[in-house]
Structure 1
Amino acid sequence: MRFVALLGHHTLHFLETAGRFGMFLLVSVYSMIKPPYKVKPIVRQIHFIGANSLFVILFTGLFTGMVLGLQGYYTLAKFGSVGFLGGAVALSLIRELGPVLAALMVIGRAGSAICAEVGIMRNSEQIDALECMAIDPISYLIVPKLVAGLIAMPLLTAIFDVIGIFGGFMIGVQLFDVSAGSYFQGMYSSVVWLDIEMGLVKSLVFGLLLVWICAAKGFYLHLERGGGFGAEGVSRTTTSAVVLASVSVLVWDYLISAILL
């Protein structure tokens, strides 16, 4: 009976958390489409999430493309098909690695900061102060981050893809003397609109997921199991948010691929 009671307790906790997060998302989306629309906070968050993540996206994208070019060349050389190297690199980046790795990098850099920022505001009762002043904390704090995530993630993913393709070009063409014409022709003949659409949909979903999960974790810091107050509570909640957001990106990557293929 103790096991059944423990199982029931964890199930109820999971349902309560899922319902709380679901309501948080619905209220955030409603606040996002409800006027007035404030552009300046959104631009500030686009700079924080997008522009400040540019270096890590460029660095990761370049070396991801170089690794794909290296591994792809040795794999395709066994079958005498090195002319398809450009298509293999481009498809791998556009459909899968670009959106996923870009999202994981942004979660590690910006998602953790969003969770810590909102969590510290909850910890120091700044969110309660906003509510006392009749300021909706979701409209004031969360909506600009959510809109910025939806705008910045597709752009960062596109940059990641382009830099990755260039990295594959450097390895395949400059290092292994693959014909530049065959590299780009293979990419041109392999990539279709469905591939680009899949990468775009994934980047939009991942942008929503990372802001939603990280902001909600910080917003409900005081309801975290084991107590969320204090520096230890903020650090524990931020770690949990990064892990949950990263796992959610991988799960939704599979689900979107299964739906759109």
Structure 2
Amino acid sequence: MVKMVGGKEVYVPLRPKVEGSLSSADWTLSAEELASKFTPRTKAIVINTPNNPLGKVYKTEELQMIADLCIKHDVLCISDEVYEWLTYDGNKHVKIASLPGMWERTITIGSGGKTFSATGWKVGWVISSGHIIKHMKTIFQNCVYHCPTAAQEAVARGFEREYELFGSPESYFQQLPAMLHHRRGKLASCLQSVGLQPIMPEGGYFMIADISSVKVDFNDDSTTDESYDYRFVKWLTKEKGLATIPVSAFYSPEHGKEFDKYVRFCFVKEEATLDAAEQILRKWSQGK
């Protein structure tokens, strides 16, 4: 999208601080590397917390580092926060727009599909200051033009209900992460039992796993020129009937090779689906 409007995209990847990382908290954004990318021509930065595919939830001090750079260079911050209600283990989502000096320069993105587990509705929103919103309304009017009214009404009803129940056990914002916390643990245990190393996510509903310790004899010559995680995912789908996503797909070409030993699993699934995935993995680990 940046390229389409004539901009130049610059990438800074999250990297694990330690070898054999076990948590998404161990993956960080280098302050020095990020700062080095800012120039007088830098217009905006895009961040994502809780992160997809990793599940990292940025801490206040990490967001403050980004905010300081945005203020110093007078840069807009586009913050994708669609998984804001899905955090685990006491991790709290912090909006970068809430930090001093950031409200007037931040566009916060939310999603009805992620908030209410209705991805197909494709209804979302942005929160920002008036001087930014007026320009976004102009763009929106000239590229999207209209929205699905019924889905908008459904999202509005969802928020009205949550407003009344907010903070109570009946609130969906509490029930959903509690349910997914259990399923996150179930998937992690399953992956560990077959020799894969899961990176425990602090938020979201995806989990990446390190597949570097698994030896696979690829028998598809058509994938020889592809990255390891792409080959692994195709092999796992064709030979074992289990679909995952190659993590290098989330990286730019210059960084993808650093992260081609990871694949992404999804744990926002029915128990029966997770059970079926577990059976596939166990049979594989037993050489069946």
What TM-score do you get using the length of structure 2 for normalisation? 0.23
Higher normalized helix content (fraction of residues): 1
RCO (CA 8 Å, sep 6+): is it higher in 1 or 2?
Answer: 1
Higher normalized strand content (fraction of residues): 2
Larger Rg: 1
